[in-house]
Structure 1
Amino acid sequence: MTKHPIIHQAPSPDRQPNVEDYPALCARFRWADAQAELDGLPGGKLNIAHEAVDRHVLHGAGDKTAIRWIAKDGTVRPISYAELKTQSDRFATLLHQLGVERGERVFSLLGRVPELYAAVLGTLKAGAVYSPLFPAFGPEPVKARMQIGACRVLLTTETFYKRKIVPIRQELPALRHVLIVGPISEALPDDVHSFDALMAQATDGPGIVATAPEDPALLHFTSGTTGKPKGAIHVHQAVLAHHISGKLALDLHPDDIVWCTADPGWVTGTSYGIIAPLTNQTTMIVDEAEFDAARWYQILQDQKVSVWYSAPTAIRMLMRAGAELASKYDLSALRFLASVGEPLNAEAVLWSQDVFGRAFHDNWWQTETGAIMLANYATGDIKPGSMGRPLPGITAGIVERLPDGGVREITAPDTPGELALRSGWPSMFRGYLDEAERYRKCFADGWYLTEDLASRDADGYYWFVGRADDMIKSAGHFIGPFEVESALVEHPAVAEAAAIGVPDDRAGEIVKAFVTLHRGYTASDDLEKEIMAHARKTLGPAVAPRIIAIAESLPKTRSGKIMRRLLKARELGLPEGDTSTLEAFA
């Protein structure tokens, strides 16, 4: 793979970064000390919503804007911390009046609307467990998650209710109430209520339930490769990791305007589209509309966004739109850019440095980790293509699984193995709902095993190799698809790439790559040969793809992850497994 120049970052002259001396901070960091940044509740209790909203109001910041909501038509509505407190209090009261008990699950099937944010926080205040659903899900993936989670209350719209819930309603025995956000055009069953009407009646309530740090708070689903979705359980103690990772990995300060573009139906949209920005007392941008390059640049300019957290898929779409479009906007307020969802190719990091004058900082985490675990920080070097270094308080390692079920840590630099984390950080998932054995298998010898393959260089930076089940074994060589893909996107014609292994009589497997093209390029045999030659020159013949196919699009989840296993299943005629999180793909 091409070695890219290190990007040296100087501290901002007008702001003291939250991570100035990374080694020193790691040496002195203790989670118990970090806990002092939160208020907590009497008697050692803890509630995410209190730390996100109520404590700021109690300390005199109620008038500050918590959310700046942008409607599809461009209308901007500011929501203060005090208003968010009031609305979330009312929703907690509403749940109590509906008979929702502690630990019961409240699901949302909504887009980016103001009611969602009050409902998330109100659910936590009521001691219930919040679980988001992606609005583009059809009835079947909605049913699977609601059945696993034993959903008691669903928050949705009339349109979604009719299209996605009515066809499966009889298969959801735990569901007691559906709350409809927005207008209702016709009479609905008795267990379907107007959100607005109930909120108008819910005034006084019991206040925040005194939840314990280990009480369940969030239920996030992650797709199984071939089986049913897994429900990862997170507790109120996770707020400590949300807060600290927002402060250290995203360099959040109270005067920041923060835009996390993740859909609220995914874990990033909860951890960094709601909780971390609020606990750090920032102002969040929430855009109701879907991706549009010009609209995004307009928002960055008009709202003076200072911290922007997005995904590789969106970044590559901006790259395809061209630097000329970006140059039409004043993006000088931007000071920190970060990316998550899948590893960020070096090409995108260098492009952002050139176009924005700021590099996107890649970071790594999973639904199961609950918060960012590895990051590139506001100060210190960026090695384009690297996931960065562990957060203070997080111990990461590269391990090898042993036949007896244990693991051996790999200490030699640049040696691939499985990325693992020492268990016990605050946002570590506490289980898969009703799947104790599946949860147990995620751990060995005190390590959480991520199933992501990576290496660590001599400077402590981690580099993604691939998912364990994505690795390609060709003529005795183990080939990581990310290495192949990163080399391919360095070709000026290639916008995105995905590499898989396909059977070969002599080599066992050979690498086949699917690529999409930037604007201005047309698929042809000559272009395929040119891309192939570039790959062979960059990677060497043992690693380079033997077959290249130019595609209109690649299958990916809404959170930005290219679904290599789906490409392979379709290539080989195998079962496709769980495709509920898949974007439309022909």
Structure 2
Amino acid sequence: MPRTSVIRKTASDFRVAPNWVDYAETRNEFSWENARRELAGMPGGGLNMAFEAVDRHVPDKGDCIAFRFLGADADRVITYRELAALTNRFASLLRGLGIGKGDRLFVLSGRIPELYVAVLGSLKNGTVACPLFSAFGPEPIATRMTLGEAKVLVTTEQLYRRKIEKMRGSLPGLQHVLLVQEQGAQAADIPGTLNLARLLAESSDAFDVVPTRPEDMALLHFTSGTTGTPKGAVHVHGAAITHWATGRYALDLHPDDIYWCTADPGWVTGTSYGIIAPLLHGVTSIVDEAEFDADRWYRILQEQKVTVWYTAPTAIRMLMKAGEEVARKYAFPNLRFVASVGEPLNPEAVWWGKEALGLPIHDNWWQTETGGIMIANTPAFDIKPGSMGRPLPGIDAFIVARDEQGQVRIVEEPDTEGELALRRGWPSMFRGYLNNEERYRKSFAGDLYLTGDLAKRDADGYFWFIGRTDDVIKSSGHLIGPFEVESALMEHPAVAEAGVIGKPDETVGEMVKAFVSLKSGYAASESLRMELLGHARKRLGAAVAPKEIDFLPTLPRTRSGKIMRRLLKARELGLPEGDTSTLEGQS
């Protein structure tokens, strides 16, 4: 189909009426106070994230499916009523162990039911939950658990033996390890651990949810840690208000949706939108316990009749790499909305969705620190491929610059590059970096949260990602955003992924260098390298196009899907790689 700069939406694009159809009117009428009234709340003005996500639905939707877990050997279905009982048992278990409000519980496991029960049960008990990537190695696990002052760890027997047992002595604050029995294996009697299944069976499913306040700490999410020690972003129970609002407006969730978020809860998306937001809306969530496989993913979309799919650019590019012929083996008549987050979505990927899935991919933007989606392309509105969209209701976004005195000012002129900033006040805004108040203060200028992302806003109010402040390339006086170069390279039919860095150069300051991985059916060669250089030069102009291109089998990415340009640059220049604990493939 012809490629245009805008994908226009018409009434025929909507299989159900969108939740948000008038951009200005909804934003003008919206208030966080009214959004909070959509939740039940607790006596005395309290608010508990897990109560809102689970127990609130039991009277009306108790027998509806909350989660369908797709395992390697068998699937498991958990209704809202069953989830309420299981999370009550877990909360009772914690109380029996002397773990209470404000204590920290970490979960280290794959996407298994026990992870979701542990997170929600912790929240009911007022205990702070922190899921970790199961592929972390012992050192990053120890770093995060030490910073987070972990008192309880929920993990599997296998992961405990591989990653925890030998370093247990370095975690003196860790009081309890609750082990999940491996499927089909007999429970092992491992010193210093407790059998989770046994304790749950002995615990009561009657539990009075701890009356937490909106500002009580609920979740602890660690940033990617691409440089220096990872930072622990503190989030509160009141964040549920943002999760509800963004589930409604950004993901367009309706009560009868079958929803699939592919993110692991070890990343903030997997918690905010893989656990909390869909439950707040009473929908059924699909959880795939297996790793990525193109055929499997298409089969899940088809067989599970997924209606709303939230995934990551990395996954989309991997599906693109597998080829459209794989997608054509399946049909997705129920799928009505596809969204993506993790890093900017290249225009080519937006169009690929329309061609391969019958639906464009809707990009959105947020951070660990924001706790929820802030800027998005939503179902009812036109898409500008390559744009992150427009601010959601309750979110005021700006482009800012600093004057000669270092003072921050809002830039009013459209298409001017600067730092993306948000006006503070949304409920899921992080309340601090754990034990790092100074770093937290530096994230704000007055009432503006400074995101560290460079962007621009066009005349229609759409925001466009340029790059992280430390990713931008300075060449011959030009400021070059790597995302723009990467997107141009991905327009070439041979390119599956692209990563761009600035390489020091005596003449121009920094030279643009690109690293690309190829789609199946293409092989690296000097002729293809020259073809790609010419394609980029024609598309971007000589000042912006890369001067060098290297081929890589895959690009280094974090497990949250972000291409690690920092790591590409370190390897190119022979510099220390720094913290690689979140690098995909590390264990």
Fold shared by both chains (TM-score > 0.5)? yes
Q: Give the Cα–Cα distance (whole angstroms) in 2 for the partners of residues 298 and 224 of structure 1.
A: 34
Partner of 1:124: 123
Cα distance change on mapping 1:27 and 1:551 into 2, 3 Å: same
Which residue is 1:410 aligned to? 411
Cα distance in 2 for partners of 1:385, 1:482 equals 9
Partner of 1:136: 135
Q: CA deviation at 1:167?
A: 1.9
In structure 1, the gaps of 5 or more residues are none
What secondary structure is seen at the aligned counterpart in 2 of 1:43? Answer: helix
Q: Secondary structure at the match of 1:469?
A: coil
Question: Residue 103 of structure 2 aligns with which residue?
Answer: 104
- Secondary structure of the residue aligned to 1:514 is strand
Query: Could you say what secondary structure the match of 2:87 adopts?
Result: helix
Q: Give yes or no for the alignment of 1:283 onto 2:301.
A: no
Partner of residue 178, structure 1:
177
The 8 Å contact of residues 86 and 205 in structure 2, kept in 1 or not, is answered as no
For residues 324 and 138 of structure 1, the distance between their equivalents in structure 2, rounded to whole angstroms, comes to: 37
How far apart, CA to CA, are the structure 2 residues paired with 1:123 and 1:579?
29
1:419-465 Cα distance to aligned partner (Å, 9 max, x none): 00001110000000000001000000211000000000000000000
In structure 1, the residue matched to 2:235 is 234
Q: Deviations 1:355-414 (Å, cap 9, x if unpaired)?
A: 111111000000000000000011010000000000110000000134545311111111
- Look up the match of 1:91: 90
- Alpha-carbon distance in structure 1 between the residues aligned to 2:194 and 2:181: 11
In 2: Cα distance, 1:300 partner to 1:46 partner? 34
* Cα separation, 2, equivalents of 1:336 and 1:479: 33
Supply the distance in 1 between the matched residues of 2:555 and 2:128 (Cα, whole angstroms): 35
In the other structure, the counterpart of 1:349 is: 350
Deviation at 1:76, TM superposition (A): 2.3
Mapped to 2, the partners of 1:243 and 1:17 lie a distance apart of 15
With 166-175 and 430-439 compared, the bigger mean Cα shift is at: 166-175
Contact 2:224/2:558 (<8 A) preserved: no
Equivalent runs, 1:203-242 vs 2, <5 Å: 203-242=204-243
Aligned residue type for 2:177: V
Of all paired residues, the percent bearing the same amino acid is 62
- 1:97-117 Cα offsets, whole Å, 9 max, x none, are 010021010000011111111
Q: Structure 1 residue 204: deviation in Å?
A: 5.0
Q: Which residue of 2 aligns with 1:188?
A: 190
Note if contact 1:226-1:576 (Cα within 8 Å) is conserved in structure 2: no
Q: Is the contact made by 1:64 and 1:80 (CA closer than 8 Å) also made in structure 2? A: yes
- Whole-angstrom distance in 1 between the partners of 2:274 and 2:502: 36
Conserved 8 A contact 1:470-1:500? yes
The one-letter amino acid paired with 2:138 is: P
Structure 1 position 223, deviation (Å)? 2.8
Report the 3-state secondary structure (helix = DSSP H, G, I; strand = E; otherwise coil) of the residue aligned with 2:362. Answer: strand
Shift of 1:205: 4.8
- Residue 379 of structure 1: aligned partner: 380
Per the alignment, residue 475 of structure 1 pairs with 476
Q: Give secondary structure in 2 for the equivalent of 1:495.
A: strand
Aligned-pair distance for 1:530? 0.3
More displaced stretch, 233-242 vs 113-122: 113-122
Deviation at 1:186, TM superposition (A): 3.3
Aligned to 1:385, the other structure's residue is in SS state coil
Distance 1:5 1:440, change over 3 A: same
- The equivalences for 1:423-462 within 5 A come to 423-462=424-463
Q: Provide the C-alpha distance between the structure 1 equivalents of 2:585 and 2:118, rounded to a whole number of angstroms.
A: 29
Report the alpha carbon displacement of residue 292 of structure 1 after superposing the two structures with TM.
0.5
Q: What letter is aligned with 1:188?
A: I
Change beyond 3 A, Cα 1:99–1:535 = same
Tell me which moved more, 558-567 or 14-23. Answer: 14-23
Worse overlay, 3-12 or 122-131 = 3-12
Inter-CA distance 305–532: structure 2 relative to 1 (3 Å threshold) = same
Q: Please give the secondary structure, in 2, of the residue aligned with 1:453.
A: strand
Deviation at 1:573, TM superposition (A): 1.7
After TM superposition, give the deviation of residue 415 of structure 1 in Å.
0.7
User: Which whole-Å CA distance do the structure 2 matches of 1:186 and 1:17 have between them?
Assistant: 51
3-state SS of 2:37 partner: helix
Task: Render the CA deviation track for 1:112-147: whole Å, top value 9, x for unaligned.
Answer: 111111111100000010001000000000000000
Say if 1:92 and 1:205, in contact at 8 Å, map to a contact too.
Answer: no
Q: What is the TM-score with the length of structure 2 in the denominator?
A: 0.97
Structure 2 CA distance for partners of 1:411 and 1:79, relative to 1, 3 Å: same
Distance 2:72 2:343 in 1: 28
Alignment partner of 2:190: what SS? Answer: coil
Cα pair distance change 1:284/1:206, threshold 3 Å: closer
For residue 321 of structure 1, what is the amino acid of its counterpart?
Answer: A
| CA offsets 1:517-549 (integer angstroms, 9 cap, x no match) | 111111111100000000000000000001111
| C-alpha distance in structure 2 between counterparts of 1:71 and 1:223, whole Å | 28
